[in-house]
Amino acid sequence: MSSAYHPETDGQSEIANKSIITILRSKFLAQELDWLATLPSMQVAINTSIDTSRDAAPHTLCIRCSPKFEKGVIVPAASLRPDMISNALWDSVKTKLVQSRVAMTQQANKRRHASPQYNVGDLVKISSSCFPKETQFNKLEPVFIGPYKIFRCMPETDNYTVEIPFALSGFITVHTCLLAPWLENPDDKFLFRTHTLPGPVSTDAEAPRYELEHIIKHRTRKDKQQFLIKWLGYGHEHNSWQNREDIDKETLKAYWEKINWSGRIQTRPAGRRNRPRM
């Protein structure tokens, strides 16, 4: 399976993509700003090259000839080409492709191991790469955050749906490579690791109120502005969305100043863009 967070395709395609990127990079480093004009010649160079997996050029197999693109050389017409490629060549190509596929599979399986299995209700940590970054120092942020509870299991594809309180839909589906098991902290062995969650701040309001650390981001739901709150003394797994009226004005003012937002959202009709004047 291949996805945006878990790229897993056949090795032959990955090697081909690397070769194409290498050629494009060489054109860019050579200060050839018109590299788009060189794409046809690059395509010809790739299609006339003999790769080790087939031991034949793609042009030889597809158009039954390997033309030379030089001045004064005319590509033979389709009627003058061989009607068919010999069976011996086809058999040789098929055999080499099978051998190459088996060799790549053996090399790839050397670094692979069985995927960890989780059950519904298990607590796991999820990679921070699945969420938008809070600061510009991405490398200094935690690699995994949690714990979160497994909501649904799809063992046939090694994907799991995890309950995320601050996600837009409340759930997120990721591959098992982005999850890690949650290990409870043995407080009796490591007393200095004991972390006591702070209680509500004493207030005269009817509902208990907690102290917030900072605002992460904002959104609009059903014509109401909401803010994702990082609570003081709590981990990211306790982040939650709160309405605008539940947050004091000083905190909101500091947040708007931090993101340099004036508080007004400019909208334009759908499907229309500003055009330069002629």
Whether 86 and 29 share a structural domain: yes
- 244: which DSSP letter? G
| Residue 251 tokens, joined | 């905190």
pLDDT on residue 131: 77
Question: Across the strands, what pairs with 42?
Answer: none
pLDDT for 165 equals: 77
> What is the structure's pLDDT at 274?
43
Segments in the chain below pLDDT 70 = 1-12, 28-33, 64-86, 133-140, 166, 168, 187, 191-195, 202-206, 261-278
- Rounded to the nearest 10 degrees, the angle between the axes of helix 11-29 and helix 87-109 is 90
Q: Tell me the two tokens of residue 158.
A: 């090694």
Classify residue 39: in a domain, yes or no: yes
Q: What's this model's pTM, rounded to 2 decimal places?
A: 0.47
For residues 27 and 104, state if they share a domain: yes
Q: For residue 180, what is the enclosing H or E element? A: strand 179-181
Which tokens in the block code for residue 5?
A: 């967070």
| Residue 220 and residue 163 share a domain | no
Q: What is the pLDDT of residue 277?
A: 42
- Residue 191 in any domain: the answer is no
At 134 the pLDDT is 58
- Within a domain: 270: no
Taking a C-beta distance cutoff of 8 angstroms, is the pair 173, 159 a contact? yes
Note the Cα 238 to chain centre separation in Å: 24
Phi/psi for 198 (5° steps) reads: -70, 145
Please give the DSSP secondary-structure letter assigned to residue 104: H
Total domain count for the chain? 3
| 130 and 95 belong to one structural domain | no
Asked whether 148 and 116 are in contact (CB, 8 A), the reply is no
State whether 93 and 130 are in the same domain. Answer: no
Range of the domain at 240: 208-259
Taking alpha carbons only, the member of 65, 101, 103 closest to residue 81 is 65
pLDDT score of 162: 92
Spell out the alpha helix ranges (H) of 64-145: 87-109
Contact 65, 76 (CB under 8 A): yes
Closest alpha carbon to 90 in 125, 123, 119, 55: 55
Q: How far is CA 257 from the centre of its chain?
A: 31
